[in-house]
Amino acid sequence: MNDQYMDVKPSNIKPPYAGAKAVVLLSGGMDSTTLLYNVLSNGYKAHALGFDYGQRHLKELAAAQKIATKARTPFKLISLASVHDNILSHAGSSQTNESVRVPHGRYDDESMKQTVVPNRNMMMLSIATSYAIVLKADIVAYAAHHGDHAIYPDCRHEFMESIHATMRICDWHPVSLYAPFREMRKENIAHHGKALGVPFDLTWSCYEGNDIHCGRCGTCVERKEAFVLSDVPDPTEYAA
Amino acid sequence: MNDQYMDVKPSNIKPPYAGAKAVVLLSGGMDSTTLLYNVLSNGYKAHALGFDYGQRHLKELAAAQKIATKARTPFKLISLASVHDNILSHAGSSQTNESVRVPHGRYDDESMKQTVVPNRNMMMLSIATSYAIVLKADIVAYAAHHGDHAIYPDCRHEFMESIHATMRICDWHPVSLYAPFREMRKENIAHHGKALGVPFDLTWSCYEGNDIHCGRCGTCVERKEAFVLSDVPDPTEYAA
């Protein structure tokens, strides 16, 4: 197992050669946007990938498209409509099942478990790896961070190490998982993003699909807190 | 890592409790059909899953539907059209890129590498695992066999062990990979299938999409050989 990409700090990843490519999972939130800028600042040619898996609203994907355009990065949107209709819509997740309410409160509360989309990250990383193989890209960049561990099983260390190992051997062209934020708190990511010039005003976090961030759902609470704790100015308009 | 399902022989897998469920990747070929009958004969409630990833023709999926109906097993077809259009159609695979010819000859020839669909199995197994999590199924059954190793990186032992480990921890509900044919030759699978009463006449192997099996592509050559070597009557009509 090649651990070079699992062990790096966010600022010291070096592409193995000029023109090396990276596939970046871009959701349109502040973490994956910061990751895109991190990858670009390190000298990689980035290819961003977004996923429509039937999430409650598509505001985050519209944000991802705008961010990719601003960062002059090609963006592809993969529709998993059939996976949603046949599988995910039957899960008890507030993100893919309209009859389940979005929970409000803190991100690490037990109640947030109902926002888990079963095996979402393994599916997205598998498809991103396929894209990396076709592009001959060396890494798939993925912005899971420390705050995700408690709720999301597919953001845990052991999951990331295991899927990294699988990605290295699923094809004759090895692909590495680059997950530099996995030990960082969201406020550190905000701080890192500010230094990279990330357009936070273009990013979208809210689980609700209103015109502006609701300010009450788990990701809104987490977003607000990250800006406050990092002392980075928050450009977001919140309803509450 | 729980190895119980990686270590079993085809005939001795026992469901952990009455009514235990299995997701079966069913392509409509003779291996995955035999696997479905194996899983059923072991007492699992099976849920079959097929994938349309833009393969050259859909004859195998029509076969899968017929087989599932005969086996009284629910069958879901997942469309990966968007993955095909955005990613796989750009790969140099004869299976997803119309401009690449289907190679003829033996299955383990170097030329067969152009039938590799990049990371197809990791994608399919990830989605099947999501389905297993939603169903609370214990296993995902997958019919990779010994003859696949040389050509397909995602049929190798190390790949299967690695993705099994990933599937065990990608959710709070652990899922195991059941791949009992991975050390078997195709003729042994034919023999095993005959004992289980598999309707081989309903199965489809050919990479070409004609009315009957071409008899010349890699999978046709392999299919013919399996019946001959196992001394199982071959119900297939071949063009050559």
Partner residue opposite B126 with nearest CB, options A119, A162, A172: A119
Contact check, Cβ <8 Å, A133/B118: yes
Q: Judge contact between A25 and A32, C-beta under 8 A.
A: yes
Side-chain-facing half-sphere of A149: CA atoms under 13 Å: 13
pTM for this prediction: 0.89
Q: Angle at Cα A151 formed by Cα A147 and Cα A155, nearest 5°?
A: 65
To the nearest whole Å, the CA of A37 is away from the closest chain B CA by 23
Q: Angle at Cα A84 formed by Cα B28 and Cα B169, nearest 5°?
A: 80
Contact check, Cβ <8 Å, A82/B83: no
The pLDDT score that the predictor gives to residue B233 is: 96
Partner residue opposite A170 with nearest CB, options B77, B122, B129: B122
The pLDDT score that the predictor gives to residue A106 is: 62
B240 burial level (CB within 10 Å; 0-12, 13-18, 19+)? exposed
To the nearest whole Å, the CA of B169 is away from the closest chain A CA by 6
- Across the range A54-83, mean pLDDT stands at 92
User: Of A99-108, A172-181, B161-170, which range is least confident?
Assistant: A99-108
Name every residue whose Cβ is closer than 8 Å to that of residue A110 and which is 6 or more positions away in sequence.
none
User: In order of start, what are the domains of chain B with their CATH numbers?
Assistant: 21-230 (3.40.50.620)
Contact check, Cβ <8 Å, B87/A162: no
Q: Of how many residues is chain A composed? A: 240
In angstroms, the CA A153 to CA A132 distance is: 24
In angstroms, the CA B160 to CA B154 distance is: 7
Q: Is the pLDDT of residue A2 over 60?
A: no
Contact check, Cβ <8 Å, A163/B166: yes
Residues of B in contact with A152 (CB under 8 A): none
Side-chain-facing half-sphere of B104: CA atoms under 13 Å: 6
- Across the range A189-214, mean pLDDT stands at 93
Question: Which site among B136, B157, B171, B172 would you substitute to test the A interface, given the most A Cβ atoms closer than 10 Å to its Cβ?
Answer: B171
Q: Judge contact between B31 and B181, C-beta under 8 A.
A: yes
In angstroms, the CA B81 to CA B96 distance is: 11
Question: Which site among B51, B78, B96, B127 would you substitute to test the A interface, given the most A Cβ atoms closer than 10 Å to its Cβ?
Answer: B127
Helix ranges (H only) for chain A are: 30-41, 59-70, 81-86, 120-135, 157-169, 186-196, 218-230
In angstroms, the CA A201 to CA B178 distance is: 47
In angstroms, the CA A34 to CA A191 distance is: 10
Residues of A in contact with B158 (CB under 8 A): 169
Contact check, Cβ <8 Å, B118/A127: no
In angstroms, the CA B167 to CA B175 distance is: 6
Partner residue opposite A122 with nearest CB, options B82, B131, B166: B166
The pLDDT score that the predictor gives to residue B2 is: 44
Contact check, Cβ <8 Å, A80/B81: no
Q: Is the pLDDT of residue A190 over 80?
A: yes
SS3 A8: coil
If interface means Cβ-Cβ distance under 8 Å, which residues of chain B face chain A?
A: 76-83, 86-88, 90-91, 116, 118-123, 125-127, 129-131, 133-134, 153-154, 156, 158-159, 162-163, 165-167, 169-172
Q: Phi/psi class of residue B226: alpha, beta or left (left: φ > 0; alpha: ψ in -120 to 50)?
A: alpha
Residues of B in contact with A116 (CB under 8 A): 171
Partner residue opposite B119 with nearest CB, options A79, A126, A165: A126
The pLDDT score that the predictor gives to residue A38 is: 95
For the record, the structure tokens of A231 come out as 């002392």
Q: Is the pLDDT of residue A185 over 50?
A: yes
To the nearest whole Å, the CA of A150 is away from the closest chain B CA by 11
Give the model confidence (pLDDT) of A26-51 as tens digits: 999 999 999 999 999 999 999 999 99
* Residue pairs between chains A and B whose CB atoms are closer than 8 Å: 135
The pLDDT score that the predictor gives to residue A71 is: 98
Supply the DSSP string of B137-167, one letter for each residue: -SEEE----GGGTTT-GGGSHHHHHHHHHHH
Name every residue whose Cβ is closer than 8 Å to that of residue A202 and which is 6 or more positions away in sequence.
A33, A63, A66, A67, A70
The pLDDT score that the predictor gives to residue B1 is: 37
In angstroms, the CA A148 to CA A112 distance is: 11
Q: Judge contact between A65 and A50, C-beta under 8 A.
A: yes
Q: Judge contact between B86 and B61, C-beta under 8 A.
A: no
Question: Which site among B82, B113, B159, B176 would you substitute to test the A interface, given the most A Cβ atoms closer than 10 Å to its Cβ?
Answer: B82
Residues of B in contact with A87 (CB under 8 A): 76, 78, 127, 130-131, 134
Q: Is the pLDDT of residue A118 over 90?
A: no
Mean pLDDT (10-residue bins), chain B, 240 residues: 51 79 96 97 96 83 96 96 89 67 62 73 96 96 81 85 94 93 92 96 91 91 94 95
Partner residue opposite B123 with nearest CB, options A88, A116, A126: A126
SS3 content of chain B, % helix, strand, coil (to 5): 40, 10, 45
Residues of B in contact with A169 (CB under 8 A): 153, 156, 158-159, 162
The three state secondary structure string of B11-33 is: CCCCCCCCCCEEEEECCCCHHHH
Percent of chain A past pLDDT 90, that is, above it, reads 63
Distance of CA B53 to the CA centre of its chain: 14
Name every residue whose Cβ is closer than 8 Å to that of residue B203 and which is 6 or more positions away in sequence.
B28, B29, B30, B33, B63, B67
For the record, the structure tokens of A215 come out as 């300010």
Of the candidates B57, B63, B29, B55, the residue with the CA atom closest to the CA atom of residue B220? B29
H/E element, B133: helix B120-135
* Amino acid at position A20, single letter: A
